[in-house]
């Protein structure tokens, strides 16, 4: 089955986004029933706006459109503290902007001692940094 996902990310932390893509690619190669489509906001579409308020508004609109197409939102926990505003915006959109909330999957960073409480409270499921765990969580919340 093909799952439509949105991966929460900030391009200043692109290695985390790329790490999630590697997990999903590994799952696609090793698990016969799993494939995915990524509906995250593309890096190659910079937002040009006359001021910060307009830029934020335009980006929120793009995020909403991308999340609308996804079945779930994947949030790497390691980014939450440094990118709280945007990640919380994505979570709020997923949970409140549509007729039915989009499930949230939190991923604990490998060897991470603590996970942000805010993410744990809002996520439908938290998984470790592992391709099988992530694929199983996606299957579970997107049924």
Q: Among the listed ranges 24-33, 53-62, 66-75, which one has the minimum average pLDDT value?
A: 53-62
| Interacting residues of 100 by C-beta distance below 8 A, sequence separation 6+ | none
Distance CA 143, CA 128 (A): 20
The single residue listed with the structure tokens 């060897």 is 111
The single residue listed with the structure tokens 């604990």 is 108
* Closest C-alpha to 72, from 43, 44, 109, 100: 100
Q: Does the pLDDT value for residue 130 go beyond 80?
A: yes
Percent of the chain with pLDDT strictly greater than 90:
66
Kindly report the length of the chain: 143
Tell whether domain 2-141 is in CATH 3.40.50.9200.
yes
Residue 82, token pair as written in the block = 């440094």
Q: What pLDDT score does 143 carry? A: 84
Reported as a pLDDT band with limits 50, 70 and 90, residue 97 is: very high
């Amino acid at each position: 089955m093909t799952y439509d996902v949105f991966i929460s990310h900030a391009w200043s932390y692109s290695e985390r986004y790329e790490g999630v893509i590697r997990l999903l690619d590994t799952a696609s190669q090793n698990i016969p029933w799993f494939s995915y489509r990524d509906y995250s906001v593309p890096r190659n579409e910079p937002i040009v706006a006359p001021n910060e308020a307009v830029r934020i508004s335009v980006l929120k609109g793009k995020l909403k459109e991308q999340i609308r197409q996804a079945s779930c939102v994947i949030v790497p926990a390691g980014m939450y503290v440094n990118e709280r505003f945007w990640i919380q915006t994505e979570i709020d959109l997923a949970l409140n902007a549509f007729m039915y909330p989009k499930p949230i999957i939190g991923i604990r960073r490998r060897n991470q001692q603590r996970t942000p409480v805010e993410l744990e409270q809002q996520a439908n499921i938290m998984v470790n940094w592992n391709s099988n765990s992530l694929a199983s969580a996606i299957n579970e919340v997107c049924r």
